[in-house]
Amino acid sequence: MKKFYLTTPIYYVNGAPHIGHAYTSIAADVLARWRRLDGFAVFFLTGTDEHGQKVEKAAAEAGLDTQTFTDLVADDFRAMAAAMGVSNDDFIRTTEARHKRACVALWERLVANGAIYLGHYEGWYAVRDEAFYGEDELVKKPDGTRLAPTGAPVEWVREPSYFFRLSAWQEKLLAFYDQNPDFIAPVARRNEVLSFVRGGLADLSVSRTSFTWGIPVPNDPAHVMYVWLDALTNYITAAGFPDEADPRWPFWPADLHIVGKEIVRFHAVYWPAMLMAAGIAPPKRIYSHGWWTVEGEKMSKSLGNVIDPRQLVAEFGLDPLRYFLLREVPFGNDGDFSRRALINRLNGELANDLGNLAQRTLALIARNCDGRRPAIGERLPVDAALLAAASALPGVLGERLARLAFHEALEEVWKIVRAANAYIDHQAPWALRKTDPARMAVVLRVLADALRVIATVLQPFMPGSMARLLDQLAMPASARDLAALAEDLPEGVDLPAPSGIFPRFVAPVG
């Protein structure tokens, strides 16, 4: 069977989930659902990153014991994923025993292969980014203080540390990128990584001694593992590492790690180097998406504009939110979240274009065809043209989604939705009822068949509402995947009474 392993980043549990986390998880969910619809065995992983100084600090600030704190926040991330309709097959927490075992096993392999040595670290560290920075990367402010390139405060760290021999990997990584031109996407991110690696790689500090909230280094418990080494390992932990007899191990290497643009370096440089140094195959692809701002501003706790995606679901519904996030901005670009833009898409594209198409077609069938699916009958070229364009959608979307071009995929579907609306206006089946009822039935069947394809391919984006639409088209549960589209549907089947799928959003008065 065709396999597909994809992941989201594991999110830090230093604060509550927000729209940025929901975005990555929803995008990954669309791909997971698409692959399942296309007959793949899918393993879709998400989870939480729970160690390190940043989380330890957040727990202390909350006045809670660290484990209790991480339990609470991890539960909240799990609940957020469920509320967003995310169909992950596993949820990993880095505080789990299976993960500690995998980190220890990876560490031991790196030591056995001479890739880790004990030394002394002296340099800058940003807790907010959980990252080390070179002096040359820092931004010096007029008052003499230094900031990380991300704007995070940095502190001077001086302590014994284990190092990963990253410097030995420069040429091998460049050769690997060369042989795997799609490894990092989009291309702007690939270029950033290439120039970073070409600029030379220093060995990476991979342990800390100044705090304890982490996985102890084997045989040297004064050190805990660097949180990024710990976190990246989650992707193999969940595949059963180090137990290669685990039923999930055949899913490794992962087909796709989806990440935000700020963590590309960890995934595209450190991670493949560590894996190759341990004799494990690197992942196949890293895709980095852009960042959302909110009503034109960066999201931040201090500005008080952090959006809980669950509030948006309560107000607008889950599927309109999922649709909006993937339609509004090309994946890979930055975007701005605004209520106005969401409402426009909901009322225009969902309620008007698709909702009305479905409602008009189904209401006419209910009224004029005894509520039964009409026969195919004799089709004219105009009928065949619409259906041919609709039937091409699975192939077209497959190509767009392989490039993570979600917005293009949706635009392709909307071309057919608009064509079907133009078709219904021209054919005017309501007028044919008296003049040519046989032709009316043919037209309504064409529309029902076009809607079937549209609803089938949109399931990954809007699972709840498309399930309701497929119910109204009397599609058996076993005939909702891409392969089933090859079969014509039987005529004469009773369709349930139609009901609207996308209510218009009307702003509450007052």
Q: Which is nearer to ligand ME8, 333 or 368 (CB)?
A: 333
Strand locations in 203-289 (E): 204-205, 207-208, 216-217, 220-225, 256-260, 286-289
> How far is Cα 260 from Cα 264, in angstroms, rounded to an integer?
7
Q: Confirm or reject binding of residue 9 to ligand ME8 (CB under 6 A).
A: yes
320 binds ligand ME8, rule: CB under 6 A: no
Identify residues 338-367 at the interface with ligand ME8 (CB under 6 A). Answer: none
- Asked if 332 is part of the footprint of ligand ME8 (rule: CB under 6 A), the reply reads no
Asked if 11 is part of the footprint of ligand ME8 (rule: CB under 6 A), the reply reads yes
Check binding of 21 to ligand ME8 (CB under 6 A): yes
CB atoms near residue 188 (< 10 Å)? 12
CA 282 to chain centre: 20
Nearest to residue 215, comparing CAs of 224, 223, 207? 224
Q: Is 93 in the site for ligand ME8 (CB under 6 A)?
A: no
C-alpha to C-alpha distance for 474 and 121, rounded to whole angstroms:
65
Choice between 207 and 233, CB closer to ligand ME8? 233
Which tokens in the block code for residue 366? 């209910």
Tokens 């290497």 belong to residue: 253
Residues 6+ apart with CB under 8 A from 116: 107, 110, 162, 163, 164, 165, 206
Nearer to ligand ME8, 10 or 318 (CB): 10
CB 405 within 8 A of CB 330: yes
C-beta closer to ligand ME8: residue 288 or 361? 288
- Count residues binding ligand ME8 (CB under 6 A): 19
Residue 332 CB, shortest distance to ligand ME8, in Å, is 11
Which token pair is 153? 């405060």
Helices (H), 180-281: 187-198, 227-232, 234-237, 264-265, 271-277
User: Which long-range contacts does 393-401 make (Cβ < 8 Å, 24+ apart)?
Assistant: 393/453, 393/454, 393/457, 394/38, 394/453, 394/456, 394/457, 394/482, 394/485, 397/34, 397/457, 398/34, 398/38, 401/30, 401/31, 401/34
* Phi, psi for residue 37 in degrees, rounded to 5: -60, -30
CB of 1 to ligand ME8, least distance (A): 27
Residues 273 to 292: which contact ligand ME8 by CB under 6 A?
Answer: 291-292
Question: Which residues, 28 to 67, sit near ligand ME8 by CB under 6 A?
Answer: 49
How far is residue 281 CA from its own chain's centroid? 23
Residues numbered 445-504 forming contacts with ligand ME8, rule: CB under 6 A: none
Closest CB to ligand ME8 among residues 24, 472: 24
Q: How far is the CB of 317 from ligand ME8 (least distance, A)?
A: 21
Judged by beta carbon, residue 11 or residue 505, the one nearer ligand ME8 is 11
Assess 23 for contact with ligand ME8 (CB under 6 A).
yes
Distance from C-alpha of 366 to C-alpha of 345, rounded to nearest angstrom? 28
Rounded to whole angstroms, how far apart are CA atoms 393 and 416?
9
Residue span binding ligand ME8 (CB under 6 A) among the ranges 16-24, 347-355, 415-423, 442-450: 16-24
Out of 4, 5, 12, 251, point to the residue binding ligand ME8 (CB under 6 A): 12
The minimum distance between CB 263 and ligand ME8, in angstroms, equals: 5
Residue (259 or 362) nearer to ligand ME8, CB: 259
> Based on CB atoms, which residue is closest to ligand ME8, 288 or 465?
288
CB 400 to ligand ME8: min, Å: 21
Mapped onto helix, strand or coil, the DSSP state of residue 495 is coil
Q: Least distance in Å: CB of 22 to ligand ME8?
A: 9
Question: Smaller CB distance to ligand ME8: residue 312 or 447?
Answer: 312
The nearer residue to ligand ME8, 76 or 481, going by C-beta atoms, is 76
- What is the DSSP-derived secondary structure letter of residue 477? G
Taking the complex as a whole, how short is the minimal distance between the CB of residue 384 and ligand ME8, in angstroms? 43
Tell which positions 294-313 bind ligand ME8, by CB under 6 A. 299
Residue nearest to ligand ME8 (CB): 20
Going by C-alpha positions, the residue among 332, 482, 318 that lies closest to residue 405 is: 332
Query: Which CB, 266 or 505, lies closer to ligand ME8?
Result: 266
Q: H or E segment at 410?
A: helix 406-427
Does 205 bind ligand ME8 (CB under 6 A)? Our answer is no
Residues 230-269 that bind ligand ME8 (CB under 6 A): 231-232, 234, 259-260, 262-263
> Given the rule CB under 6 A, which residues bind ligand ME8?
9-12, 20-21, 23-24, 49, 231-232, 234, 259-260, 262-263, 291-292, 299
